[in-house]
Amino acid sequence: MKRYRSSEKFGNKFTLDSDKKNSIEIEERVRYSETDQMGVAHNKSYLGWFEIGRTEYCRQKNVPYKDIEAKGYYLVVAEAFCRYMRPLRYDEKFLIRISLEDIKPKKIIFTYELLTWKEKKLIATGYTVHVVTDSKAKVCSLPDDILDKIRT
Amino acid sequence: MKRYRSSEKFGNKFTLDSDKKNSIEIEERVRYSETDQMGVAHNKSYLGWFEIGRTEYCRQKNVPYKDIEAKGYYLVVAEAFCRYMRPLRYDEKFLIRISLEDIKPKKIIFTYELLTWKEKKLIATGYTVHVVTDSKAKVCSLPDDILDKIRT
Amino acid sequence: MKRYRSSEKFGNKFTLDSDKKNSIEIEERVRYSETDQMGVAHNKSYLGWFEIGRTEYCRQKNVPYKDIEAKGYYLVVAEAFCRYMRPLRYDEKFLIRISLEDIKPKKIIFTYELLTWKEKKLIATGYTVHVVTDSKAKVCSLPDDILDKIRT
Amino acid sequence: MKRYRSSEKFGNKFTLDSDKKNSIEIEERVRYSETDQMGVAHNKSYLGWFEIGRTEYCRQKNVPYKDIEAKGYYLVVAEAFCRYMRPLRYDEKFLIRISLEDIKPKKIIFTYELLTWKEKKLIATGYTVHVVTDSKAKVCSLPDDILDKIRT
């Protein structure tokens, strides 16, 4: 019998504090192709939005993710979690708030909040854990200059 | 400051026991469109495979999910988690093992294991929590006949 | 032996004239999840961008597509074509130019051009043919007020 | 004014003859994530199925596409066309018939028919044109041994 631990280790340490420095917000709209026959955005779509979120986070920190990969470092997704609280409909505009939860040379954790456009009600929360690897998928450390930019 | 709890409540209760009765296995292959420029399957793809898995689970229990929806019940995804352990490449064949972790009239939890085809090594594990709603997205209870079929 | 005709009937009537009145332009960026292991945007992604394009076209004409559906009309895709001329890479910004090619009460044709951000070089061209149906998938005619707004 | 030609050059030369030697058939099922809020499979999904189709075509000809890429050749999609005739619903089983329409050292054309499972009614038809490139995206010729296997 294998014991399966999701994220209990850091699950209750997460604090999504919108005041904290390392948060950015972007807006998105639900595409028609992101809906399913339930008439709402499909659960897979949220992981795509998380990804757009961290791409923009890195860009705003002056270290575009494509440059990180160009230097031979990859932020491989090791864990992804999403809690869905409120449905999102086609063409609905919403906010994605991305926060840097933790950063170490070999591991980065981002948290995400999706919020309604006007009233800022929670649509979903989630996190992704990333392991740093080189181009051969071997775990390695991000160099200090990249680490500094991401965490500043 | 909001406190954000992932799945610590049931996170360490999961046991993925391949011997247990309520598990089924299906095989899949990675599509080209499911890869990304890292050369491996994209993290979103796994949620799609989990979904195929529970569709097949319900079919094997003689209660196809499309029939559940036709009767006016929806298994809305309330939480999704995936831990990625080993990359999956284009055209690679793999196993999806789907288990019914818990079932209550208003809530169902499925767990998933992705395994390599030959050596049955773990590729990924995960779970989805589903809330039962009616066609107006209001939480309701699944009728006994459906519950009995799914849990048998 | 079935004879299969693609779009020869109107294939050579298309004129993508950027000066014409019924064109709009929007900008997009390639998402990581839209790339594949070739390192470029996957061919499916373009149909998603065409769709975003016509959504924005309708919005700018003051007849948001979600309102069209809310009134019981659906613009079902009957044909889709894309010619891929130049690869698109992750995080690359590009333009989508959407033009109304033809509009009749029961049929609408949009054409699309994807262009590089700076030099406006052609990345791809394409079109979609839409048939108007009611909520039961039966072909019907768009009412005059919607037709007028789209074509103005 | 640019003149835009879709595929009129070979558009009316296509013959989808199910008796011809270079056709194979596979079966697929519509995934929930492939539907949209119209309650049917999204138009993008068909390009994904075409891709699965040509992957299986190559496999059956003993030249798996991943081996072609491993040897440094890429079948880049230069054109894609789909005509949608009949909706496909979630969990519906259907046939994909893939035919080699034309093969030259630098260019391959596949045609596709999607058919209902029981009555073999046409759901959709389409084609993809592929240009052969090397790993640097430069057009090149497929070696004879690969060409022979694909066309046999």
- B36 close contact with C: CB closer than 8 A: yes
Are D35 and D2 in contact by the 8 Å Cβ rule? The answer is no
Among C115, C106, C30, C103, smallest CA distance to C61 is for C103
Say whether pLDDT at B13 is over 50: no
- Please check whether residue C4 touches B, CB under 8 A: no
Query: Residue C39's closest chain B neighbor by CA?
Result: B37
Q: How far is A100 from chain D (nearest CA, A)?
A: 30
Better pLDDT: D7 or C24: C24
Q: In whole angstroms, give the CA distance from residue C23 to residue B15.
A: 57
Residues of D with Cβ-Cβ distance to A39 under 8 angstroms: 37
Q: B21 pLDDT band (50/70/90 cuts)?
A: low
Q: Which residues of C touch A66 (CB under 8 A)?
A: 89-91
Q: Any CB–CB contact under 8 A between B85 and chain D? A: no
Specify the pLDDT at position D11: 40
B46, B128 Cβ separation under 8 angstroms: no
Of B31, B47, B65, the CB nearest to D48: B31
Note the pLDDT of residue A152: 87
Q: Which helix (H) or strand (E) holds B82?
A: strand B74-84
Please, which chains are in contact with A (at least 3 CB pairs closer than 8 A)? B, C, D
Tokens of C39: 């390192």
State how far the Cα of A150 lies from the Cα of A63, in Å rounded to an integer: 7
Partner-chain residue, chosen from B7, B15, B16, that has the shortest CB–CB distance to A7: B7
The token pair that represents B130 in the structure block: 């589903």
Q: Which of A32, A57, A110 to mutate to test the interface with C (most CBs of C within 10 A)?
A: A32
Min Cα–Cα distance to chain C from D64, Å? 16
The confidence score (pLDDT) of residue C20 equals 57
How many angstroms separate the first and last alpha carbons of chain D? Answer: 44
Q: Has residue B139 got a pLDDT over 50?
A: yes
Subunit partners of chain B (3 or more CB pairs within 8 A) = A, C, D
Tens digit of each residue's pLDDT (9 = 90 or more) over C13-66? 444 444 556 899 999 999 999 999 999 999 999 999 999 999 999 999 999 999
- List CB contacts (< 8 A) between A44 and chain D: 33
And the tokens for A37? Answer: 């026959």
Shortest CB distance from C39 goes to which of B32, B37, B44? B37
pLDDT score, position C21: 67
Which of A6, A34, A99 has the highest number of chain B CBs within 10 A, making it the mutation to test binding with B? A6
Closest CA to B128 of A44, C114, D53: A44
Rounded distance, CA D27 to CA D97, Å? 9
Predicted pLDDT of residue A123: 98
Q: Is C117 on the interface with B (CB under 8 A)?
A: no
**Alpha-carbon gap, residue A56 to A62, rounded angstroms:** 10
* Out of C7, C84, C128, closest to residue D7 by CB: C7
DSSP B139: B
Torsion of CA B136, B139, B143, B148, to 10 degrees: 130
What mean pLDDT is predicted for residues C120-129?
A: 98
What secondary structure letter does DSSP report for D102?
E
Measure the CA–CA gap between C37 and D69, rounded to whole angstroms.
10
Question: Are A35 and D37 an interchain contact pair (Cβ–Cβ within 8 Å)?
Answer: yes
In which residue are the tokens 């960026």 written?
Answer: C29
The type of residue at C141 is: S
Q: What DSSP string runs through chain C?
A: -EE---SHHHHTT-EE-TTSTTEEEEEEE--GGGB-TTSSB-HHHHHHHHHHHHHHHHHHTT--HHHHHHTT-EEEEEEEEEEE-S---TT-EEEEEEEEEEEETTEEEEEEEEEETTT--EEEEEEEEEEEE-TTS-B----HHHHHHHH-
DSSP characters for chain A?
A: -EE---SHHHHTT-EE-TTSTTEEEEEEE--GGGB-TTSSB-HHHHHHHHHHHHHHHHHHTT--HHHHHHTT-EEEEEEEEEEE-S---TT-EEEEEEEEEEEETTEEEEEEEEEETTT--EEEEEEEEEEEE-TTS-B----HHHHHHHH-
**Is residue D74 less than 8 Å (CB to CB) from chain B?**
no
Say how many C-beta atoms besides its own lie within 10 A of residue C75's C-beta. 22
Chains that touch D (3 or more CB pairs under 8 A): A, B, C
Q: What residues of B are in contact with residue C42 (Cβ under 8 Å)? A: 32-33
Q: In a mutagenesis test of the C interface, which of B37, B47, B89 is the best target, namely the one with the most C β-carbons within 10 Å?
A: B37
Q: What are the φ and ψ backbone dihedral angles of C123, each rounded to 5 degrees? A: -95, -40
CB of A132 within 8 A of CB of A106? yes
pLDDT in tens, C132-141: 999 999 999 9
Q: Does D52 touch chain B (CB under 8 A)?
A: yes
The answer on pLDDT for D7 being more than 80 is no
What CA–CA distances, in Å, run from C9 to C47, C49, C104, D8?
Answer: 22, 25, 16, 8
Q: What is the pLDDT of residues D25-72, one digit of tens each?
A: 999 999 999 999 999 999 999 999 999 999 999 999 999 999 999 999
Give strand pairing partners of A14.
none
Give the three-state DSSP class for D40: coil
Q: What ipTM was estimated for this complex? A: 0.88
Cα B35 vs. chain centroid, distance in angstroms? 20
Chain A residue with Cα closest to D42: A33
- φ, ψ for residue A17, nearest 5 deg: -105, 110
Q: What is the pLDDT of residue A31?
A: 97
Report d(CA B52, CA B82) in Å as an integer.
Answer: 15
CA B7 to chain centre: 15
Q: Tokens 């809906």 identify what position? A: A35
Of C2, C7, C17, the CB nearest to D81: C7
Q: Which residue in C has a C-alpha nearest to residue D84's C-alpha? A: C78
Q: Is the pLDDT of residue C123 over 70?
A: yes
Residue pLDDT, tens place only, C71-116: 999 999 999 999 999 999 999 999 999 999 999 999 999 999 999 9
Instruction: Please tell me the distance in Å from A86's CA to the nearest CA on chain D.
Output: 17
Q: What is the mean pLDDT of residues B78-102?
A: 97
D11 to C17: CB separation less than 8 angstroms, yes or no? no
A138 to chain D, closest Cα gap in Å: 21
Instruction: For residue D36, give the H/E element and its range.
Output: none
Q: How far is residue D2 CA from its own chain's centroid?
A: 29
D43: nearest CA partner in chain A: A33
Instruction: Compare CB distances from A33 to D39, D40, D44 and report the shortest one's residue.
Output: D44
Per-residue pLDDT for C9 more than 50? no
Task: Tell which residue, C90, C85, C68, has the closest CA to residue C16.
Answer: C85
Helix (H, G, I), strand (E, B) or coil at D62: coil
Is residue C70 less than 8 Å (CB to CB) from chain D?
Answer: no
CA distances from A72 to A116, A133, A135, A138, C31 (A): 37, 8, 6, 11, 19
**Residue B47 is nearest to which of A5, A43, A78, comparing CB atoms?**
A43
pLDDT of residue B152: 87
Is B20 in CB contact (< 8 Å) with chain A? Answer: no
Q: Is the CB of C48 inside 8 Å of chain D's CB atoms?
A: yes
Beta bridge partners of B126: B82, B112
Strand partners of residue C125: C83, C113
Q: How many CB pairs under 8 A join C and D?
A: 108
Mean of all residue pLDDT scores within chain D: 89
Give the pLDDT of residue D5: 39
**Interchain contact A122–C (C-beta under 8 A):** no
pLDDT over 60 (residue A133): yes
Element (H, E) at B61: none
Q: Which of C81, C83, C85, C90 is nearest to C37 (CA)?
A: C90
